[in-house]
Amino acid sequence: MNKLIRSFLLSLLGLLNLSVYAAPITSGEKVTISIYGVPADEKQQINGDYIVSDSGMLYLPMLENGIKASGSSSSTVARRIEAAYKSAQIYTSPRITIITVRDVAESNTIAQKFVTVAGNVKRPGPVQYTEGMTIYEAVAAAGDADPFGAMNRVELLRNGKKYVYNLKTTAHRTLKVYHGDTITVPQKNFIGQ
């Protein structure tokens, strides 16, 4: 019963996007943008730090127009960037994560402890950490893998070291995660794994 309650609470926490609490992005602010669901060589072209212009816009590679960022939450701007890449027919299923220094500070204030779940999940970003949380529960709190997520090659970054786990096996699903861990669900390869 306790496990069921804990799973339910984790699911609810996953529904509460951290950006609900986050202050809007402002002109001159530095944001870190990561893209998933695109070819690896193109990720390097887009992933990185960007400064919001004085007019409140973000300018990204391959997009003709800027994206309005000032006054909006990180997740709202991320959805705008995804939509821009789709409408320009550059990418079919991009997933964007935006993190500001304030997002991290506020998540520490609100949640005190979190793990970051990135990559091909339905709601990438920080999720609240609870004592005893498993890697599988953390991915579930981020909405689970999207259709392109490779659950057999989930990456865990802890203290600068990368580990790879197959979450299709029960043994790996029970691996405990800790505050500050980063979990990435990579994109499936050309044979769907």
CA 105, CA 99: separation in Å to the nearest integer?
A: 11
Assigned domain for 107 exists: no
Assigned domain for 130 exists: yes
Looking at the structure, tell me whether residues 37 and 62 fall in a common domain.
Answer: yes
Q: What is the CATH number of the domain that holds 58?
A: 3.30.1950.10
Looking at the structure, tell me whether residues 25 and 41 fall in a common domain.
Answer: yes
73 Cβ neighbours under 8 A, 6+ residues apart: 19, 20, 22, 24, 25
Among 52, 67, 102, residue at a domain's last position: 102
pLDDT at 100 (0 to 100):
83
SS (H, E, C) the chain: CHHHHHHHHHHHHHHCCHHHCCCCCCCCCEEEEEEECCCHHHHHHHCEEEECCCCCEECCCCCCCCEECCCCCHHHHHHHHHHHHHHCCCCCCCEEEEEEHHHHHHHHHHCCCEEEEEECECCCEEEECCCCCEHHHHHHHCCCECCCECHHHEEEEECCEEEEECCCCHHHHCCECCCCCEEEECECCCCCC
Looking at the structure, tell me whether residues 141 and 151 fall in a common domain.
Answer: yes
Distance (Å) of CA 192 to CA 84, 144, 165, 186, 189 = 26, 17, 17, 12, 5
Looking at the structure, tell me whether residues 11 and 85 fall in a common domain.
Answer: no
Tally the domains of the chain.
2
Among 102, 120, 146, residue at a domain's last position: 102
Q: Which portions of the chain are predicted below pLDDT 70?
A: 1-22, 103-112, 192
pLDDT at 18 (0 to 100):
40
Sign of CA dihedral 135, 182, 118, 15: positive
Q: What residues make up the domain containing 94?
A: 20-102
